[in-house]
Amino acid sequence: MNLKFWKKNTNKVAVKKSAGKEWLDAIIFAVVAATLIRGLFIEAYVIPTGSMERTLLVGDFLFVSKVNYGARTPITPIAFPFAHHTMPIIGTKAYWDGIQLPYYRLPGLGHVERYDVVVFNYPMDADAPLSRPIDKQENYIKRCMGAPGDTLSVINGQVFIDGKPAEKPPMSQTDYMVTTDGTEFNPMALENLKADVERIGSNQYLFTSPKAEIEKLKQFTTVKQIIPIVSEKNSREQGIFPGDSLHQWSRDNYGAIIIPKQGWTVKLDSLSLPIYRRAIEVYEANKLEIQGNDIIINGKKTNTYTFKMNYYWMMGDNRHNSADSRYWGFVPEDHIVGKALFVWMSLDDKASFFNKIRWSRLFRGIN
């Protein structure tokens, strides 16, 4: 009997991979590893607009954690690596939406909390002509000012939660009308104030600045008056959510509004339906019809609805220059991407080549 079958064949010649094959294997491994890291753990983003100034600046590069809230598994699994929704240069779709998986989120370290700075998919991208899948909608970053079940209102620019003043982010900013005695501001003094300034008259200026910097401005002997710019109460502002005539709301005087919570049942009537209709129809995929005075949901007459998901109210820290929940409403939990952790790089496009890097912002935490 031959008992040598188990021995390794020492005469077998090892086949060496070609350099091209080794490079291909390395590239495939790197792409798979990077995709897993970006999808499950941490991903880099860049700030393109000023809606979060001065907390975050245009040109800040962030690391965003998927672990804090739990990573969302891919909804659109077939996509080009490292492209979000559009291919660079050629501008075509970077994904195939022929396969759509159900929403599922892995367990995380916690949940979205009030005042977190959050990256999420822009809910309005679900509308035509874009009609993108949830995970391929545009990435937005804002601060969570309202959690599920909160009653939120804005009175003269101050956010209230359940009737109590909410915390103001330390670097949040709004607009002020500043009147001087006609003396020109010293450019260096304005630069030290870290304010965006626009001259609108011989002795009037529009300042966009955090309140702390405005307090410094009061020390200028040439400044005669500082008036916060606040939209009127009981005055409907164009483009404000929900956009119907019954809600006379503006960016600085808004609500009160209850943020939907999973399991919460709302009574539907002429006042509440405009606020919650989009969540019922678009985000929770129900067929809602109005027949005379009756509300029909999925073929059944009703005057209530119980929400299946949690929702959040997101606002930019640059309160007068931010398109946020005041303009398009709630953010569903299945649109949440992750929590912004810190700035790892910051580039100033307006600066000269040798001064582009904002060294003071490198590896700065986000509060």
Q: Identify whether 10 is part of a domain.
A: no
How high is the mean pLDDT of the chain? 92
- pLDDT for residue 10: 55
Q: Identify whether 359 is part of a domain.
A: yes
pLDDT band of 68, cuts 50, 70, 90: very high
Considering the domain architecture, whether residues 134 and 59 belong to the same structural domain is answered as yes
Considering the domain architecture, whether residues 91 and 206 belong to the same structural domain is answered as no
CA-to-CA distance for 299 and 290, rounded, in angstroms? 11
| Statement: residue 42 has pLDDT above 70 | yes
Tokens 């891919």 found at: 74
Contacting residues for 16 by C-beta, under 8 A, at least 6 apart: none
Considering the domain architecture, whether residues 141 and 181 belong to the same structural domain is answered as no
Q: Identify whether 306 is part of a domain.
A: no
Taking the alpha carbons of 260, 266, 270, 271 in that order, is the dihedral positive or negative?
negative
Cα separations in angstroms, 173 against 23, 52, 97, 233 = 50, 9, 40, 20
- Give the residue numbers spanning the domain of 89: 17-147+314-367
Considering the domain architecture, whether residues 138 and 204 belong to the same structural domain is answered as no
- pLDDT for residue 13: 55
Considering the domain architecture, whether residues 133 and 218 belong to the same structural domain is answered as no
Considering the domain architecture, whether residues 139 and 29 belong to the same structural domain is answered as yes
Considering the domain architecture, whether residues 182 and 139 belong to the same structural domain is answered as no
- pLDDT over 90, % of the chain: 75
Considering the domain architecture, whether residues 189 and 82 belong to the same structural domain is answered as no
The residue among 167 and 26 whose pLDDT is bigger is 167
SS3 311: strand
Final residue belonging to a domain, choices 228, 258, 275: 228
- pLDDT over 70, % of the chain: 95
How many whole angstroms from its chain centre is CA 255?
21
How many domains are there within the chain?
A: 2
DSSP-assigned letter for residue 357: B
Final residue belonging to a domain, choices 164, 193, 228: 228
| Statement: residue 43 has pLDDT above 90 | yes
pLDDT tens readout for residues 217-238: 998 999 999 999 999 888 889 9
Considering the domain architecture, whether residues 189 and 108 belong to the same structural domain is answered as no
| Statement: residue 350 has pLDDT above 90 | no
Considering the domain architecture, whether residues 126 and 214 belong to the same structural domain is answered as no
CA-to-CA distance for 207 and 217, rounded, in angstroms? 10
Point out the least confidently predicted range of 101-110, 127-136, 317-326: 127-136
Q: Which CATH number fits the domain that encloses residue 354?
A: 2.10.109.10
Q: Identify whether 307 is part of a domain.
A: no
Considering the domain architecture, whether residues 32 and 124 belong to the same structural domain is answered as yes
| Statement: residue 6 has pLDDT above 50 | no
**Mean pLDDT value of segment 257-261:** 98
CB-based burial label for 116 (10 Å; 0-12, 13-18, 19+): buried
- pLDDT for residue 5: 41
**Mean pLDDT value of segment 186-203:** 86
What are the strands, taking DSSP E only, across 188-240? 196-199, 204-210, 223-228
CA-to-CA distance for 361 and 340, rounded, in angstroms? 15
**Mean pLDDT value of segment 256-261:** 98
Q: Identify whether 70 is part of a domain.
A: yes
- pLDDT for residue 114: 97
CA-to-CA distance for 339 and 365, rounded, in angstroms? 12
Q: Which CATH number fits the domain that encloses residue 214?
A: 3.30.70.80
CA-to-CA distance for 94 and 113, rounded, in angstroms? 32
| Statement: residue 245 has pLDDT above 50 | yes
The model carries a pTM of 0.90
Do the Cβ atoms of 83 and 35 come closer than 8 Å?
no
| Statement: residue 3 has pLDDT above 60 | no
**Mean pLDDT value of segment 196-208:** 92
Considering the domain architecture, whether residues 110 and 64 belong to the same structural domain is answered as yes
Q: Identify whether 304 is part of a domain.
A: no
SS3 10: coil
pLDDT tens readout for residues 282-339: 999 999 999 999 999 999 999 999 999 999 999 999 999 999 999 999 999 999 999 9
Final residue belonging to a domain, choices 228, 249, 266: 228
How do 151-155 and 164-165 pair as beta strands? unpaired
Q: Identify whether 103 is part of a domain.
A: yes
Q: Identify whether 60 is part of a domain.
A: yes
CA-to-CA distance for 336 and 68, rounded, in angstroms? 11
| Statement: residue 17 has pLDDT above 80 | no
